[in-house]
Structure formats: structure tokens, C-alpha cells
């Protein structure tokens, strides 16, 4: 493939500079060849060797890296709208879960669904994300809780990247909830999780491993058993941590070099220091906070003070964040958690990439992957300010245009 150049654009490289936290370049040019960027800078500084390359004009559009949704549960069967009504009548998330609803109700529906049914439903959710400039999505399992269905969900997740132009990172979340066959036997179920992990890893279906460490999930000791198994397979780990209580899971995850700890409403200072030292990303999930009507906000000031990278994600799932809009999470991250627009945008690009261990994306610079999004906006902060408005003109994914109806380059 020959080199190509995008001109007449404004670029947010997401590489911070003094007084320029988004690394913005006005009247910029971007050079790529195939899946790799070769040059990003001011158009007037475009090196002579690229002046005869194929040109594309962006008509003044803003360009960012392709957005990254780093925490989703995109593949599931059934619906949990009935539980939404129960919550509105006073039942808590925890009460619903303990009564056999919650995750287990989705497990029953997902086990009953065919591969094609799961894929069709997941594609609708995925297409909503892609229309908003998303080019990389993490998808967790965890709605099977037994080997056959966990494998089915991960295969469906992998297959989404074959039928859509998107990068998919798969995470094994077998320790999401206690399987119904193991009532009051959590340690025995963890034995099964470890067996599933080995099988799924051998099948090439797992990029990372996650656990729900919580009073309605799994204990620190049970979580550590999963972490040890993941480390033996050289798989990176993530953790659902401190969402409903301070379980000290984040400190444990940091000790194992976790890529990220996610939710974190109850994070304490000691665990935050451990995350900082380990380089672990804090993934905040305002959709779940909003949908569950939580009142305890993640300790953003503590994260800032400890220099912990902050990412944002949809947490797209049927029970606590049925949301398919990463742009909405930008707005919620700012309005609910008081992030700055610069922090929020970094949270769906550079820091989201770090939360997945994907060092080749989330920024626009020489050598990065040629994933980018074009926007009809006046300034990058508009992506946080406006919600419910389609401003994405289209994306470049791996060097190929993925157009919306308005893309003209």
C-alpha cells in the first residue's frame, strides 16, 4: 500500500505538552502507510518525501486517535429490564443479586442463546460504539460460568473483529459470579474457573484475566488464586475492585502488576499508593455509577495526587450499565466525577490503551497504529460538552477508511 497524507485538519495527538495537554496541532498533516503512522505535524513542516503521496482533505475536521472502550461485557443474552423496574421500586443491586437475579439471570439467558443470536445482539451494541469513533474494544466473558458458554462468548467476541473493522481484546471473567451449580461452594467453583482458564488459553481465546472481587463476588484469597494461575500463563490481569465496598482488592491487583483496576468508588489511600507504584490504570465507569444511583464518587483527587492514569469506559452490560455510548461517558465523567475535558479525552485514548496493554494506539505519533477519528467540532472539548449529537465524520482503522454517511476525504 502506498503512503497517504491527510491535510486540512486539526489534530489532538494526545501527547501532552506544557500549556497544551491534548498535544493539539493546528493546520496539521498526518502521513500513514498501511497500519502504521509515519509522520504527524504541522502541514507546513511536511517532509518533502511525502509531498507526492496520495492526498486526502479533511475540510478542517478535528482528528483524534480512534477511541478505545477498555471495559465492556458486550456479549450476552436476554434482558434485565425487569430488574430496572425493581430497583426503581426500592430494591438494591445487591438484594437483586442475592435473590437470584443480577448476573445469574443473564447467565441463564446466555447459556440458552446460540452463537448467532449472541453475535447479532452484540453487533448492534458494537455498531453504536463504532459510529462514535471507537476503533478498539475490550470484551469480557463472565455470563457463562461454565466452560462451554464461556468459550462460546469469547469466540463470538473474537468473531466480531472478523465482521467489523475493529480491534477486539478478550478478557476471561469466569470469576464474575458464583455459578448456580456451586451454591455455597465458592472455592470449588474457583477450581473450575482455573480449569476453564487453562482450556480457553490453550484455544487462544484469552488476552487478559479479570475477577469480581467484592462481598457479592469473590474474596481476596479466591481472587489471588486466579491471579496466580494467570501469571503462570503470562496473562495480564485486571480487577473489578472497590465498587461496593473497600475489599482491598486494588492493592492485591497492584501487587500482581495489574493493567487496571476498575470502578474504585471505595478505593483507599494505601491501595491507591500501591496502584501508583505498580503503574496500574484506574478505569472509572460513570455509567454504572449513574444507573445504580450510587452516591459515593470515585476518589478522583486521590488518583490525581498519586499520579494514577485515569481511563473511562462504558462498562456496557445488561445489569448496571446498559450503555453503548462512549461519548456519553465523556460527559458523565466530567459532570459526575468532575474530570476535566482533557482528563476525560485522555481516558478514552492514551490511558484506555494503557489499561489494555496496547502501547501502539491511543496517541497520534510516528510508529503508532493508524487508527484515528474525524470530528465535526470546533474544539476537542466539545466531545465532552455535547451529548446525544453525532459528530463523528468517520474513522481510519488500520489505514483504511471506515466511513459514516458524511465522510468526504
Q: Which three cell numbers stand for residue 2?
A: 502506498
CB neighbours of residue 13 within 10 Å: 24
Quote the pLDDT of residue 402.
80
Q: Are 240 and 211 in contact (CB under 8 A)?
A: yes
SS3 115: helix
pLDDT 10s digit of each residue in the chain, 409 long? 789 999 999 999 999 999 999 999 999 999 999 999 999 999 999 999 998 889 999 999 999 999 999 999 999 999 988 888 887 888 886 787 777 677 888 999 999 999 999 999 999 999 999 999 999 999 999 999 999 999 999 999 999 999 999 999 999 999 999 999 999 999 999 999 999 999 999 999 999 999 999 988 999 999 999 999 999 999 999 999 999 999 999 999 999 999 999 999 999 999 999 999 999 999 999 999 999 889 999 999 999 999 999 999 999 999 999 999 999 999 999 999 999 999 999 999 999 999 999 999 999 999 999 999 999 999 999 999 998 888 999 999 999 998 654 455 5
List 238's β-bridge partners, or say none.
Answer: 260
Q: Which pairs with CB-CB distance under 8 Å and at least 24 residues apart come from 91-95?
A: 93/244, 93/292, 93/319, 93/320, 94/215, 94/216, 94/244
The 10 Å CB-count burial string (b at 16+, else e) for 183-205 is eeebeebbebbbebbeebbeeeb
Max Cα distance, the chain (Å): 69
Residues 392 and 67: their CA atoms lie apart, in Å, by 11
Quote the pLDDT of residue 135.
Answer: 98
Residue 405's pLDDT is 46
Is the domain spanning 67-356 CATH 3.20.20.140? The answer is yes
DSSP class of residue 398 equals T
**If 0-12 CB within 10 Å is exposed, 13-18 middle and 19+ buried, where does residue 175 land?**
buried
Query: Which grid coordinates are listed for 264?
Result: 474504585
Radius of gyration of the chain (CA): 21
Determine the topology of domain 4-66+363-403 in CATH.
Urease, subunit C; domain 1 (2.30.40)
Looking at residue 409, its pLDDT comes to 57
> Which residues does 74 contact at the CB level (< 8 Å), separation at least 6?
122, 125, 126, 137, 139, 157, 160, 316
Rounded to whole angstroms, the Cα distance separating 400 from 344 reads 27
**Residue limits of CATH 2.30.40.10 in the chain:** 4-66+363-403
Q: How many CB atoms lie within 10 A of CB 149?
A: 19
For the chain, give every residue range classified as CATH 3.20.20.140.
67-356
Q: At what angle do helices 186-202 and 147-163 cross, to 10 degrees?
A: 40
Amino acid at each position: 500500500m502506498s503512503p497517504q497524507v491527510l491535510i486540512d485538519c486539526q489534530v489532538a495527538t494526545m501527547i501532552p505538552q506544557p500549556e497544551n495537554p491534548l498535544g493539539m496541532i493546528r493546520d496539521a498533516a498526518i502521513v500513514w502507510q498501511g497500519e502504521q503512522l509515519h509522520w504527524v505535524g504541522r502541514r507546513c513542516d511536511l517532509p518533502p518525501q511525502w509531498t507526492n503521496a496520495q492526498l486526502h482533505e479533511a475540510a478542517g475536521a478535528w482528528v483524534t486517535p480512534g477511541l478505545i472502550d477498555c471495559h465492556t461485557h458486550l456479549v450476552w443474552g436476554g434482558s434485565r429490564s425487569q430488574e430496572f423496574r425493581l430497583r426503581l421500586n426500592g430494591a438494591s443491586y445487591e438484594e437483586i443479586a442475592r435473590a437470584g437475579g443480577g448476573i445469574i439471570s443473564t447467565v441463564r439467558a446466555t447459556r440458552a442463546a446460540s452463537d448467532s443470536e449472541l453475535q447479532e445482539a452484540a453487533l448492534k451494541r458494537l455498531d453504536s460504539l463504532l459510529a462514535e469513533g471507537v476503533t478498539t474494544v475490550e470484551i469480557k466473558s463472565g455470563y457463562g460460568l461454565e466452560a462451554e458458554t464461556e468459550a462460546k462468548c469469547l469466540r463470538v467476541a473474537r468473531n466480531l473483529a472478523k465482521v467489523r473493522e475493529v480491534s477486539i481484546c478478550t478478557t476471561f471473567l469466569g470469576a464474575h459470579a458464583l455459578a448456580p451449580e456451586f451454591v455455597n461452594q465458592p472455592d470449588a467453583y474457583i477450581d473450575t474457573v482455573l480449569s476453564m482458564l487453562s482450556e480457553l488459553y490453550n484455544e487462544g481465546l484469552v488476552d487478559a484475566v479479570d475477577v469480581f472481587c467484592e462481598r457479592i463476588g469473590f474474596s481476596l484469597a479466591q481472587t489471588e488464586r486466579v491471579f496466580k494461575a494467570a501469571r503462570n500463563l503470562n496473562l495480564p490481569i485486571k480487577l473489578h475492585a472497590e465498587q461496593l465496598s473497600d475489599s482491598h482488592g486494588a492493592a492485591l491487583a497492584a501487587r500482581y502488576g495489574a493493567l487496571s483496576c476498575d470502578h474504585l468508588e471505595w478505593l483507599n489511600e494505601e491501595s491507591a499508593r500501591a496502584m501508583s507504584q505498580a503503574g496500574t490504570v484506574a478505569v472509572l465507569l460513570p455509567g454504572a455509577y449513574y444507573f445504580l444511583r450510587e452516591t459515593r464518587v470515585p476518589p478522583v483527587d486521590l488518583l490525581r495526587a498519586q499520579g494514577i492514569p485515569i481511563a473511562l469506559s462504558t462498562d456496557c452490560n445488561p445489569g448496571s450499565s446498559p450503555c453503548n455510548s462512549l461519548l456519553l461517558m465523556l460527559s458523565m465523567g466530567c459532570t459526575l466525577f468532575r474530570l476535566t475535558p482533557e482528563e476525560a479525552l485522555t481516558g478514552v485514548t492514551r490511558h484506555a490503551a494503557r489499561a489494555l496493554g496496547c502501547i501502539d494506539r491511543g496517541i497520534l505519533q510516528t510508529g503508532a497504529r493508524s487508527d484515528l477519528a474525524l470530528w465535526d467540532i470546533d474544539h476537542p472539548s466539545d466531545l465532552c460538552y455535547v451529548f446525544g449529537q453525532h459528530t463523528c465524520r468517520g474513522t481510519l482503522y488500520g489505514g483504511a477508511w471506515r466511513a459514516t454517511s458524511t465522510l468526504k476525504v
